[in-house]
Amino acid sequence: MDLFTLSLCTVLLSAMMAITLSALFLTNTADKAMRDWSLAGVCFLACSLLILVASVRTVPWLLTPVLSNTLYIAAHGFVLSGITSQTRSVNSHLSIGVFSAFVLLMHFNDAISSNVEFRMLAIYPVMLTLNLLSVFHLWRFRHSAHGKSYWAVMTIILLFIVHTAGSAVAILLFPDHLEFLGNDIIQTTNSLVVLLYISGLTLGLIFVHAWKREVTLKTVSRTDALTGWFNRHALNESASREFIRCQRNQLSFAFVTFDIDFFKNVNDQYGHTTGDRAIRHIANVAREATREYDYHFRLGGEEFVIMLAGLKVSDVKAIAERVRFAIQSTPLCMVTESLPLSVSVGMATMEQGDLGWHVVLERADDALYAAKKGGRNNTRFLTANALSLVKG
């Protein structure tokens, strides 16, 4: 395959990458990772266009190889920056500037500018560094919520790293006096690998974007927008799974339920905006008073549920009382005054004969009702026997 055909194919694939990733970025302009990946596609496209033009006519030295090589390194830098934005919410624009400036300035060295082999051997370490950093960040966050989507991109970049290292070794072992824009086997192979790299990287990044979107939609569908706690739909999923797990492993399973005392008065006196602030405040205080790995749910209105596993009854009672006391001791601060708040709390644990988690939750709700009848701002615990006596 001649140089012009390879260059034309690279332009078309780079254009596809730039257009596709830019379109995805425009659907969510807050996605900084996709912004950087779009810029990577633009840099690959600009570099490919310069090489295509240079393959059919003479162009100034500052355009090719100087600008084309600089754009090529910048493209790899933007791939890295998108990955760090995706995994760590931190871009790598400074690294892009440093590495691109280094590649730009090195062309003004006489030995490098006059020798294609020297130029390639000078660029390869920069390219390897950027790509190794990309793989490092993807590997480091492989167990995150989006980690499974990183494997395709990680594989593509690793294969490209292996080829780049092999190409550098081949140049060192078999110096062949390469020509700029030549059809040497090393340069032809490099061009073919770049074609595969750009196409594979584009597909991999689209997959990351689709996975991220799916995770976001799933999170939104399971999360209460006001408090950040899980919603009733998430309760159905999580409680079913945890109840079976606790039964199988002979672990305790418990619910702590609570709602805000006289919450209607808060809305009537201060308005629904303050009511929403009160709900968020209660949720934040309650989360601080519980363990990080406990399950927190808001079922609507002022009704909250905490699901606990692996605790003694005394520990469940202690957590429930800690939540109640923390809320009582932490009033909602407003502009002109502090608004005292309190909650009534009910508790129940899984007992022999409970057919499902709904039974435990219903018992905890009955305990909550008993706490409200008992004067509010207190905690109640009900067993199955105690409940039968109450209802009897």
CA 146 to chain centre: 5
Residue 181: predicted pLDDT: 52
Confidence of residue 183 (pLDDT cuts 50, 70, 90): low
Give ranges for CATH 1.20.1070 in the chain: 3-222
pLDDT of residue 177: 57
Note the pLDDT of residue 122: 92
Whole-number Cα distances in Å, 52 to 11, 12, 76 = 8, 11, 20
pLDDT score of 322 more than 90? yes
CA distances from 367 to 34, 281, 282 (A): 50, 24, 20
Question: Over 90: is that where the pLDDT of 118 sits?
Answer: no
Instruction: State yes or no: pLDDT of 25 exceeds 70.
Output: yes
Domain covering 232-391, topology: Alpha-Beta Plaits (3.30.70)
User: With pLDDT > 70 as the criterion, what percentage of the chain qualifies?
Assistant: 95
Looking at residue 86, its amino acid is Q
CA torsion, ordered 362, 367, 371, 377, to nearest 10 deg = -80
CB 57 within 8 A of CB 19: no
Q: Tell me which DSSP letter residue 62 carries.
A: I
Q: Tell which residue, 244, 353, 252, 250, has the closest CA to residue 310.
A: 252
Of 167, 168, 157, 170, nearest to 196 (Cα)? 157
CATH class, range 3-222? mainly alpha
Element holding 383 (H helix, E strand): none
In the numeric block, which tokens belong to residue 31?
Answer: 């996605």
Give span(s): CATH 3.30.70.270, the chain: 232-391
Average pLDDT over residues 175-196: 72
